[in-house]
Amino acid sequence: MSKRLHYSIRMRAAKDSVHISGAEGIYEKNDVLDTVQKYTGRAYAHDKGRADEIHLTIEELKETPRRISSLPLCTLNTRNSEAAGKAAFKILSSIGITERAIDEAFKSLTIGITMRGAMLMDIEGVRLEPDLLRGVRVTRMGITKKADAILSKHLAKLGLNNDTVKEALILASKVHKYPMVLGELCISDDPNYTTGYIASRAFGYIRLLHIKKRGLPYGGRAFFITGGEVKELIKYLQTTPVLIDNIKPCEGALSLKEILARKSHRKSHSRK
């Protein structure tokens, strides 16, 4: 069987030397040119202004991308940041992450410094990433055209068919495929984007409305990890190509109770 080549295409754009836009995906050869055009258009049409510097990387992948399913998606029906924070604590502590670690993550994500990558935190809250200022960047993930069309359809029904949600779901789906990762807390760095998420294999991708106060220009990601080789984990996050080719259910708003009631089922399911 002849194996088709895949390409990782990555874009980052800046205006006046400040980062304004980024995108990435994994594509087949026939789609490389269209993608370059799409990404360039995106950099020129960004809310934050027209980019004056665009970096594009087109990398032929030496490894066949690993195919995975997306995490199931839902939204927690909390009304304010206090309730969202409390619910995040309940969910994350139910999968074995200590309150100290969750506290530490919230603190680090709201202190006002934005890292380029994610923090790696053990379940006690000890930071494990080698570069504490930069964090670890997850790259080389994408979605097949077919799966993307299905995901768009699911998300459109929820009024959520946009790049922000899609990209976050694709990133989290790659991250949580790795058994050492237990959970994740994410808060956007966009001052107007107040929705964040927590993700885990046990519960999937749970959107957290109002997790951040409007106007704050910082955010970040924390991956909670358990015992294992951190070097191998970082290698996976940064370099292993992963392609989503199957979409799990995407649901609307659920209560904390409804979400907590689902854990055991999903957990036993994902252990296979």
Measured from the CB atom, the residue of 72 and 196 that comes closer to ligand WAQ is 196
Check binding of 72 to ligand WAQ (CB under 6 A). Answer: no
196 lies in the binding site for ligand WAQ (CB under 6 A): yes
- Is 220 a binder of ligand WAQ (CB under 6 A)? yes
Q: Which two structure tokens, joined as six digits, stand for 31?
A: 């789609």
142 binds ligand WAQ (CB under 6 A): no
Between 17 and 30, name the residue whose CB sits nearer to Mg ion: 17
Of 122 and 190, CB closest to Mg ion:
190
Instruction: Using the structure block, give the residue that is written with the tokens 């949580």.
Output: 176
Is residue 70 within 8 A of residue 270, CB to CB? The reply is no
Is 188 a residue that touches ligand WAQ (CB under 6 A)? yes
Stretch that binds ligand WAQ, among 29-37, 163-171, 249-257, 263-271 (CB under 6 A): 163-171
Asked if 120 touches ligand WAQ (CB under 6 A), the answer is: no
Quick one: 88 or 115, whose CB is closer to ligand WAQ? 115
Which CB sits closer to Mg ion, 22 or 85?
22
Beta bridge partners of 56: 11
- The beta-strand segments (E) located in 61-180 are 66-69, 73-76, 119-122, 141-143
Please report whether residue 269 would count as binding ligand WAQ according to CB under 6 A: no
Shortest distance (Å) from residue 246 CB to ligand WAQ: 19
Helix 81-94 to helix 99-109 angle (10° resolution) is 140
Q: How far apart are CA 46 and CA 50, in angstroms?
A: 6
Please select the residue that binds ligand WAQ; options are 76, 195, 198, 245, rule is CB under 6 A: 195
- Calpha distance 174→168 (Å, rounded): 10
Q: Which of residues 174-203 bind Mg ion (CB under 5 A)?
A: 189-190
Task: Give dist(CA 259, CA 229) in Å, integer.
Answer: 31
Q: Kindly give the pairing relationship between strand 196-200 and strand 181-187.
A: antiparallel
In the complex, the smallest distance separating the C-beta of residue 223 from ligand WAQ, rounded to whole angstroms, is 8
Q: What is the closest distance, in whole angstroms, from the C-beta atom of residue 19 to ligand WAQ in the complex?
A: 10
The window from 3-11, 58-66, 109-117, 142-150 that contacts ligand WAQ (CB under 6 A) reads 109-117
Is residue 167 a contact point for Mg ion (CB under 5 A)?
A: no
How far is 13 from 214, CA to CA, in rounded Å? Answer: 24
Round to whole Å and give the CA distance between 75 and 87.
12
Asked if residues 43 and 13 have their Cβ atoms less than 8 Å apart, the reply is: yes
Q: Is 31:146 a contact under the CB 8 Å cutoff? A: no
HSE-up (13 A, CA, CB side) for residue 214: 2
- Strand 250-254 relative to strand 73-76: parallel, antiparallel, unpaired? parallel
Among positions 84, 151, 165, 181, the unique one binding ligand WAQ when judged by CB under 6 A: 165
Binding site for ligand WAQ (CB under 6 A): 114-115, 117-118, 137-138, 164-165, 168, 171, 186, 188-190, 193, 195-197, 207, 219-221
- Site residues (vs Mg ion, CB under 5 A): 189-190
